[in-house]
Structure 1
């Protein structure tokens, strides 16, 4: 469907709200959100008034003399985004899926507000500060790489750690779910991946309906729940140091797990909760993509992607600053490997190999065999996954 300056466009009903720098446009039928500058909003308002593209172009060129105005190109973009219902009275052919109501609507907003309100939000921040203070004042509580080795059995250690880690992943995501339900907005829980890690992800798309300040609570909700558990674990360790050794050891695993996950949130080369908070505070909603473009000048492995978007005017200073944190996140990951993951792997496999080669009990021998077996299985699955990702699917389209 070819557009001309004489074309008249009919848009789907749109919801528009002011954001940090630009505007957030919602198409309620599909539930899609788009960020647009003020000149685009002016154009949409004139389109809704029934003006032709040529008339709008002339008015906008007069109002924004320093801007490049091309209404035919803008109209084609609106069609591509699925926002155009009719052109010159003729219906645009496209498949538009109606957004689902979302999951977790059975959780009452009042329950969400019980956990996330003006008072509790301050309490979560206070707990974080207390936790940091406790680590500073009591260095013996600081997580150590050997904290996960609670038992003689290496398989039992792995199962225990994975079970605790999975439990707190669910706790983390329910923090996000309860926070968004406190605003009576729908959400759903998906499974995704970051690097080689499989992760649960709470869909916070509907949070774009909220003001930027309200969205910040949603991003920190999971970490807020985690810090509450860290505070409880630290207090028990301090107040009851002579408690059951297994119980104290499990508390140590909890602290270790959340500590690593909190540092992981600071790895800005991935889209973590803290990354989304920074995006929200700066109003730069393509920060990672723009940052990778900026860094690709010096880091060849960060190739520009055809889907990468250009930063809005005035964002380049923020993008440069983000690039520094991007590199810092990579260095932080290397530190985690050097001080935690590599020592853990060395300790675990040295114990396992010792149990295989030396005269040990049958239980220790078969525990070592099982541990090496699961290692081989995980490596095989990882290599198969990488191989599958490297294949280019055949397409009959030219």
Structure 2
């Protein structure tokens, strides 16, 4: 691809044709991107103006001249076009197609924005509020229905408890991600759902790159759609549990379902792992890359501490100084949350999660064999299959994602 592209080196008298690019003003900059490739950048006003001149059919030299007249200074539009080609924003140079990597297909590409435009209706927040009011009123009358971890242990058979938790939990994960997907697709974003890892967690995630081009209400709706779905499922489960007789299997399953729906929500507030609330926070603070800039500042600060403690040379510069003042403050605060949150999360894994999993595995293996009843053996096999599968999928997903990041 690189060799083919060198034959299309633009000249000052070249005319280019751009791919279909979407744009949106944002403070003093413009967000510009291509939905098909999920490639988006922030351009200064002059860059957005240059795009308009090029899109209108002017040569690179003509666009540079018009831009100089409008802005009162010279701009290297030729280098700007070369950068656009690297971003795969340029379709043709002097009528010759620019080769590019075929974009990855979107999930459920057959679903068009007009098919799911209803997801942006203001009716949904009203329905959500009604559900919340109904659930709160039910809990006020029936406080015994307040979700508790005891509800998860609705059966004495560990395999049955695990089977419901895994089946219902991952079904809700899919519904959660579909909520993000539907809202993003309604705005025109080519979203993709995939498996990923966040520290020790195996997660499903929806890439909604391009939502930055939507109005703020639509952006926040896309970020919060998943959590709203979890709250809605929990509310429905509580209301229906109130209508069933206590101590019955349906009642216990509904009570467990309410807890299963609520369990992922605290995870969403772990903003050091780029969760749903992280994207809300990034949007509200008007930061371009809160996570990436936070990591860069944390590394710089770590180098400074190493210099102070060990008196080693440190020539690194504060990366946050290149950011606007409002981003600089947010990034520095976030870097503290990033470091502390990651450390606490890994400590919790070593202290609680890993010992609990190892204990379950040990007990399951210990209860295998001809000296135990068939039901006990079956229960142990199910436990080993569920835990083994989850850990194996996490390991494979982690390896694939990190291998893809290698140069």
Fold shared per TM-score above 0.5: yes
Matched, 1:158 2:166: no
Q: Which moved more, 1:341-350 or 1:262-271?
A: 341-350
- Deviation for aligned residue 1:318: 2.2
Per-residue displacement from partner, 1:337-366 (whole Å, max 9, x unpaired)? 599746864774586477469976442244
Counterpart for residue 26 of structure 1 = 33
Counterpart for residue 259 of structure 1 = 262
The counterpart of 1:169, out of the listed 170, 173, 189, is: 173
Counterpart for residue 277 of structure 1 = 280
- Number of positions where the alignment pairs a residue of Structure 1 with one of Structure 2: 381
- Deviation for aligned residue 1:319: 1.5
Q: What is the rounded CA distance, in whole Å, between the counterparts of 1:98 and 1:378 in structure 2?
A: 30
Q: Is the 8 A contact 1:266 1:329 kept in 2?
A: no
Counterpart for residue 321 of structure 1 = 333
Q: 1:48 to 1:384 in 2, by over 3 A?
A: closer
Q: What is the rounded CA distance, in whole Å, between the counterparts of 1:205 and 1:31 in structure 2?
A: 6
> TM-score under structure 1 normalisation?
0.73
Matched, 1:94 2:99: yes
Q: Is the 8 A contact 2:176 2:230 kept in 1?
A: yes
Per-residue displacement from partner, 1:187-233 (whole Å, max 9, x unpaired)? 55532212354444445345445212222112211221211111122
Q: Is the 8 A contact 2:223 2:280 kept in 1?
A: yes
SS in structure 2 of the partner of residue 36 of structure 1: strand
- Deviation for aligned residue 1:244: 3.7
Q: Which moved more, 1:282-291 or 1:27-36?
A: 27-36
- CA-atom RMSD in angstroms: 4.7
Q: What is the rounded CA distance, in whole Å, between the counterparts of 2:406 and 2:235 in structure 1?
A: 53
Q: What is the rounded CA distance, in whole Å, between the counterparts of 1:43 and 1:124 in structure 2?
A: 44
Q: What is the rounded CA distance, in whole Å, between the counterparts of 1:378 and 1:345 in structure 2?
A: 11
Counterpart for residue 289 of structure 1 = 292
Q: 1:357 to 1:311 in 2, by over 3 A?
A: farther
SS in structure 1 of the partner of residue 263 of structure 2: helix
Q: What is the rounded CA distance, in whole Å, between the counterparts of 1:262 and 1:24 in structure 2?
A: 31
Q: What is the rounded CA distance, in whole Å, between the counterparts of 1:165 and 1:62 in structure 2?
A: 57
Q: What is the rounded CA distance, in whole Å, between the counterparts of 2:361 and 2:36 in structure 1?
A: 55
Q: Is the 8 A contact 2:54 2:63 kept in 1?
A: no
SS in structure 1 of the partner of residue 88 of structure 2: coil
Per-residue displacement from partner, 1:266-313 (whole Å, max 9, x unpaired)? 22232322222223333323221111111122457xxxxxxx999653
Matched, 1:83 2:92: no
Q: Is the 8 A contact 1:172 1:223 kept in 2?
A: yes
Q: What is the rounded CA distance, in whole Å, between the counterparts of 1:393 and 1:262 in structure 2?
A: 29
Q: Which runs of 5+ in 2 are unaligned?
A: 1-5, 304-318
Q: 1:236 to 1:331 in 2, by over 3 A?
A: farther
The counterpart of 1:56, out of the listed 54, 64, 79, is: 64
> TM-score under structure 2 normalisation?
0.72
Q: 1:382 to 1:175 in 2, by over 3 A?
A: closer
Q: Is the 8 A contact 2:176 2:229 kept in 1?
A: yes
Q: What is the rounded CA distance, in whole Å, between the counterparts of 1:11 and 1:41 in structure 2?
A: 15
Q: 1:393 to 1:333 in 2, by over 3 A?
A: closer
Alignment of 1:1-398 (within 5 A): 1=6, 6=12, 8-12=14-18, 14-27=21-34, 32-48=39-55, 50=58, 52-53=60-61, 56=64, 60=68, 63=71, 70-85=76-91, 89=94, 91=96, 93-95=98-100, 97=102, 103=108, 105=110, 109=114, 113=118, 116-124=120-128, 127=131, 138=143, 141-144=146-149, 146-180=150-184, 182-183=186-187, 185=188, 187=190, 189-195=192-198, 197-205=201-209, 207-237=211-241, 239=242, 242-298=245-301, 312-314=323-325, 315-327=327-339, 329-330=341-342, 333=345, 341=353, 345=357, 348=360, 352=364, 355=367, 361-372=373-384, 375=387, 379=391
SS in structure 2 of the partner of residue 74 of structure 1: helix
Per-residue displacement from partner, 1:40-84 (whole Å, max 9, x unpaired)? 11332344462545983895599477xx95444423211211223
Q: What is the rounded CA distance, in whole Å, between the counterparts of 1:166 and 1:80 in structure 2?
A: 39
Per-residue displacement from partner, 1:242-274 (whole Å, max 9, x unpaired)? 524432332333233222211111222323222
